[in-house]
Structure 1
Amino acid sequence: MTVNIKEVDTLVVGAGQAGIAMSEHLTRQGVPHLVLEKNRIAEAWRTNRWDSLVANGPAWHDRFPSMEFSDVDQDCFVPKDQVADYFNDYVKKFELPVISGIEVSNVEKNKEGSGFIVQTSDGVFHAQHIVSATGPFQSPVIPSIATEDHGIHQMHSADYRNPEALPEGAVLVIGAGSSGVQIADELLQSGKTVYLSVGPHDRPPRSYRGRDFVWWLGVLGLWDVPANEPGKEHVTIAVSGAEGGKTIDFRQLAERGMKLVGRTQSFNQSTVLFSNDLADNIRAGDDNYLSLLDRADAYIADNGLDLPEEPEARELLPDSHCMTNPTIELDMKAAGIQSIIWATGYSTDYSWLNVDAFDDNNQPKHHRGVSKQTGVYFLGLPWLSRRGSSFIWGVWHDAKYIADQIVIQRQYKQYKQYTSPAAK
């Protein structure tokens, strides 16, 4: 039986922010391509996040350079559905070749020639270049230490929607990055008793001296840091755009009644054990916070900027009772805990990409998104080229670099040996 194979120069897999950025640059450079998306455009923003989620950066910053958000204050933090609408409008404005409802199931080298054979739910494609734009948030991770007590309602933060969807009773939120803190704060405001397990974290100010922290990271060159600091590979960032944007202060959360504990170590039936590291984690977060204020003050002085002083930003509340008398062991039944929310991140799933582009841990092996497998590229991953790589604007700049590399490879392939007139 003859298989009808569809030919395309470049195939982009995924139509979230990475795939759309990639398509814009390929379109600008005249590279024939398609973007395949198994769901809707920017589906994760609509259905894989909680109801009240907003972007973590202001609208003027968390966008592509080619189009602003419409009908919003540019200093606001845009709700998730409007972020998804932005990407849909972007595809329409730039007439990008995005096809929804097609799932890619397998990519492998073409054994009979160049390029790759791509199996999809809409037939077979033959592509010279493959861009994986599926991002880092593919498979929610719940650690193996999770309790086997079936009387406890457990879920990943990806499945959390709102406080009303949880059972009655107290909640243990494990993970104090942006997602964990915002969910815990929302639950606390709803009237629930909340325990928050806090690990190592960076804690930048939401704003300082009239400028949002994204501005400070920009002028201080911190978005362009090319690699994570050794020892900080698993350190989360505690920052929030909720309620108009606010600096996360764990001492203040404790003062409002949130019960803070250290990193979750293990479960033994209904008992949970925590590390005795809560105070150290919070103080290290304070140091990170204060160091950014120091750098911002120095920048203002060096550049003669007229920005209002903010001495109150350096005022920290006293150590809370949960820091000075930490909870190391907790009987969840006695504490009334009926739910656990695991805000513990995601893993990647490249089971569909069967090419020689991975290391021994099945992680992409690449330089700035250009993999060791010629013709395969990765986009949207944290620290792909720098600190800003996983952010909306950062992925746009990474996509431009990858598009340039694809154009270069196309030019080499189109080379025909030059023969001088004298040799004819």
Structure 2
Amino acid sequence: MSEETEVVVVGAGQAGVAMSEHLSAAGVPHLVLERHRIAERWRSERWDSLVANGPAWHDRFPGLEFPDVAPDAFASKDQVADYFVAYAEKIGAPVRTGVEVTSARRHEGRPGFRVETSQGVIDARFVVAATGPFQRPVHPAIVPDGAVPAQIHSSGYRNPEQLPDGAVLVVGAGSSGVQIADELRRSGREVFLSVGPHDRPPREYRGRDFCWWLGVLGRWDAETPAQGAEHVTIAVSGARGGHTVDFRELASSGIELVGLTESCEDGVVRFAPDLGRNIAEGDAKYLELLRAADEYIARNGLDLPEEPQAHVLGPDPRCVTAPRRELDLAGAGVTSVVWATGFAADYGWLDVDAFDERGRPRQRRGVSSAPGLYFLGLPWLSRRGSAFIWGVWHDARYVADHITTQRSYLAYDAHGTPASAPAPVSAATQS
């Protein structure tokens, strides 16, 4: 005998908890299945000193504030995990932990899905894949095994003491790579930081956090990234109370900046000649946001303190004007490579025709091309804000509205009378 429910939500991170809140509010029976603990990746797949990249007033759900974290402070990774546990308890989310979903496939000859788990089979009319984008660490096969004593992905990095003595090459200059490189340098390590294309916003400008600026400027609502910028990383930090990432300051602290890591042969790593361009393009995005903020202040007559020094970048360091093109790992004493190169999604458990030729979900705002299947927690699912905690909450509301509308149509009885009338189609449910 199999268990039955209307909706199975796979994953109990921020996306799964948000989905549960909106389904419960709509009176939709559901189960949330999580193979580990609630928000497990925040606890066990992040480094010890990690904090949220947005302030506590911003990076949260509407229904609960962070306890013991000041609004403008940045919650630690464990505080974020505890927050979602508390939120799930607050809303009474029907979460089952320690349950792994091994497969989900469509029923033959009837609607719904057969969801196979480590604890039995569940029949569901709808399935929401809320596992997010951080399923499989991306570790480029550039540096051969044995070329250095240790190679590790950022998801496995915990602290400097974890690595063998010696210099470190950190590959990737988004928030993770920058913060890890900075921590390693502060611990006394010699550090090389491989910098690719990136967006570099100010942490704070004229008394307001960059999260606030993107909100009032309407940039969280951008529906599609700029051409070629789908995977460009954001270099911003909440570490040590929050600060603007400035690659010139990183260089002055002793970190040597290098270009994009291209290849490795006979223990020698080669870098692309793109460091200067990557730094300049990041600077241009930074300065453009400052100008837009200044214009907004003038247009709205706001009394916010001027900050002319924020526009002064200073000269490029020598490692940028005359960048290193190759690095002999042994000769430079490099004993570790940390790959801060992101993640890929893993939907191997979904036996449904819902993916394109590159394995990406075919969906619009989380509504899959396969009826009854939904995706949640992906970057740019509906807009730029989808990658942030609060953005996931709003995306979940849209998906829940869609499910509720579909349920009402499916409830139509044989006599032509709706068992429960469909909700009016609104801007939130149109696609």
Asked if 1:164 is matched to 2:161, the reply is yes
Equivalent residue for 2:97?
Answer: 100
Equivalent residue for 1:327?
Answer: 324
Asked if 1:237 is matched to 2:234, the reply is yes
Of the candidates 180, 185, 199, which is equivalent to residue 182 of structure 2? 185
TM-score (norm 1): 0.97
Question: Are the aligned partners of 1:104 and 1:119 in contact in 2 as well (CA < 8 Å)?
Answer: yes
Residues 383-414 of structure 1: CA distance to partner in whole angstroms, max 9, x if unpaired?
00000002100000000000000000100010
> C-alpha separation between the residues in 1 aligned to 2:232 and 2:375?
23
> C-alpha separation between the residues in 1 aligned to 2:75 and 2:132?
21
Q: CA deviation at 1:231?
A: 1.7
Question: Are the aligned partners of 2:11 and 2:34 in contact in 1 as well (CA < 8 Å)?
Answer: yes
Q: CA deviation at 1:329?
A: 1.2
**Structure 2 vs 1, CA of residues 35 and 239 (structure 1 numbering), >3 Å: closer, same or farther?**
same
Asked if 1:63 is matched to 2:60, the reply is yes
Equivalent residue for 1:278?
Answer: 275
Equivalent residue for 2:311?
Answer: 314
**Structure 2 vs 1, CA of residues 122 and 319 (structure 1 numbering), >3 Å: closer, same or farther?**
same
Of the candidates 393, 397, 402, which is equivalent to residue 400 of structure 1? 397
The residue type paired with residue 271 of structure 1 is V
Structure 1: gaps spanning 5 or more residues: none
Q: CA deviation at 1:346?
A: 0.5
Asked if 1:128 is matched to 2:125, the reply is yes
Equivalent residue for 2:424?
Answer: none
Structure 2: gaps spanning 5 or more residues: 418-431
Question: Are the aligned partners of 2:148 and 2:334 in contact in 1 as well (CA < 8 Å)?
Answer: no
**Structure 2 vs 1, CA of residues 115 and 261 (structure 1 numbering), >3 Å: closer, same or farther?**
same
Question: Are the aligned partners of 1:193 and 1:258 in contact in 2 as well (CA < 8 Å)?
Answer: yes
Equivalent residue for 1:337?
Answer: 334
Asked if 1:413 is matched to 2:410, the reply is yes
Counting matched residue pairs gives: 417
Question: Are the aligned partners of 1:149 and 1:269 in contact in 2 as well (CA < 8 Å)?
Answer: no
Equivalent residue for 1:357?
Answer: 354
In the TM superposition, 1:1-20 aligns within 5 A as 4-20=1-17
Question: Are the aligned partners of 1:368 and 1:398 in contact in 2 as well (CA < 8 Å)?
Answer: yes
Q: CA deviation at 1:152?
A: 3.1
Residues 161-180 of structure 1: CA distance to partner in whole angstroms, max 9, x if unpaired?
00011000000000000000
Equivalent residue for 1:198?
Answer: 195
Question: Are the aligned partners of 2:172 and 2:339 in contact in 1 as well (CA < 8 Å)?
Answer: yes
Residues 297-317 of structure 1: CA distance to partner in whole angstroms, max 9, x if unpaired?
000000000000001111112
SS at match of 1:333: coil
Question: Are the aligned partners of 1:274 and 1:329 in contact in 2 as well (CA < 8 Å)?
Answer: yes
Q: CA deviation at 1:41?
A: 0.2
| Mean Cα deviation higher: 262-271 or 109-118 | 109-118
Question: Are the aligned partners of 1:15 and 1:41 in contact in 2 as well (CA < 8 Å)?
Answer: yes
In the TM superposition, 1:140-159 aligns within 5 A as 140-159=137-156
Residues 330-364 of structure 1: CA distance to partner in whole angstroms, max 9, x if unpaired?
11111000000000011111010001111111110
> C-alpha separation between the residues in 1 aligned to 2:148 and 2:179?
25
In the TM superposition, 1:195-274 aligns within 5 A as 195-274=192-271
4+ residue runs of structure 1 moved beyond 2 angstroms?
A: 146-152, 417-420
Q: CA deviation at 1:233?
A: 2.0
Question: Are the aligned partners of 1:205 and 1:248 in contact in 2 as well (CA < 8 Å)?
Answer: yes
> C-alpha separation between the residues in 2 aligned to 1:396 and 1:87?
12
> C-alpha separation between the residues in 2 aligned to 1:79 and 1:219?
26
SS at match of 2:128: strand
Residues 60-103 of structure 1: CA distance to partner in whole angstroms, max 9, x if unpaired?
00000111111211110000000000000001111111110100
SS at match of 1:196: strand
> C-alpha separation between the residues in 1 aligned to 2:194 and 2:146?
19
The residue type paired with residue 192 of structure 1 is R
